[in-house]
Structures are given as C-alpha cells and as structure tokens.
Structure 1
Amino acid sequence: MNQITVYTTNTCPYCTMLKNFLNTQNLAYKEVNVQLDQTAANKLVETTGQLGVPQTEINGQWVLGFDPETIMNLVK
C-alpha cells in the first residue's frame, strides 16, 4: 500500500490538478492544507526547504509540483 500525502493550499490550481490525477489513478492519499495548518507548513519547509505547493510525499520520496510521471514512477 502506498503512503501518499499531498500538501496543498486553498488557492493552488496545480494542487487541484494533482488531486484529480491521483483520483483518476485510484491512488488513495491524505491531504494536508498548509494554509490552514501552520505547524504542517513549518514542518514542510524544514523537511524539503520548499514552501511551494503542491508537494507530495510518496513512500518517503518527495515530488515538487504537478509531476505525474515522477509520481507514477514512485508508486508501487
């Protein structure tokens, strides 16, 4: 089972595209809205050095932005 977490904000069109892509691939994910969760936002910057969204953690690997090819390479 894949562990997928998508970090998003309310106003990010690529976040919506990414979630739609995961849904069409039938990949379950957890969404963390960093706009609403400052602690998660701080942790994200500490972990990846990036505040931009979407950022997706897949089985411990990070994907920055909307990158379906990399996502499909990382899922089991």
Structure 2
Amino acid sequence: MNSITVYTTTRCPYCTMLKNFLLDQNIPFKEINVEQNPHLMEKLVRMTGQMGVPQSEVNGKWIVGYDPNSIMREIKG
C-alpha cells in the first residue's frame, strides 16, 4: 500500500492540479494544508529545503512541485 501525503495551500493552482491528478488516477492521498498549521510549513522547509508547495511525501521520498511522473515512478517502485 502506498503512503502519499500532499502538502498544500489554499490558493495554490499547482496543488489543485496535483490533487486532481491523484483523484483522476484513483490514488488515495492525505492532504495537509500548511496555511492552517505554520509549524508544518517549518517542517517542510527543514525536510526539503524548499518553501513552495505542493510538496508530496510518497513512500518516504519527497517530491517537490507538480511532478506526476515522479509520483507515478515512486508508486510503481
């Protein structure tokens, strides 16, 4: 079973695109909106060195930005 968490903000168009891609592919994911919890945004910066969203943690690996190809590679192993 894949573990996918997508970190987003409310007004991010790439976040919406990524969530729609995952939904269209019937890939379950957990969404965390970092606007609602600034502590989590700090965690993202520490983990990835990046401040932008979306950021996805797929099976323990970080993928920054809207990158469906990398997400699919991680899912398929």
TM-score with structure 2 setting the length: 0.94
Matching residue of 1:18? 18
Question: Identity, % of aligned pairs?
Answer: 59
Matching residue of 1:40? 40
Query: What amino acid is aligned across from residue 9 of structure 1 in structure 2?
Result: T
- Map Cα deviations across residues 33-70 of structure 1 (whole Å, 9 max, x no partner): 11111111111111111110000000011111111111
SS in 1 for 2:31: strand
SS in 1 for 2:22: helix
Q: Are 2:4 and 1:4 equivalent residues in the alignment?
A: yes
SS in 1 for 2:56: strand
| Structure 2: 5+ residue stretches without partners | none
Count, aligned residues: 76
Counterpart Cα distance in 2 of 1:35 and 1:68: 23
Matching residue of 2:31? 31
SS in 1 for 2:35: coil
Query: What amino acid is aligned across from residue 16 of structure 1 in structure 2?
Result: T
Counterpart Cα distance in 1 of 2:67 and 2:44: 18
Q: Give the structure with the higher percent helix.
A: 2
TM-score with structure 1 setting the length: 0.96
SS in 2 for 1:75: helix
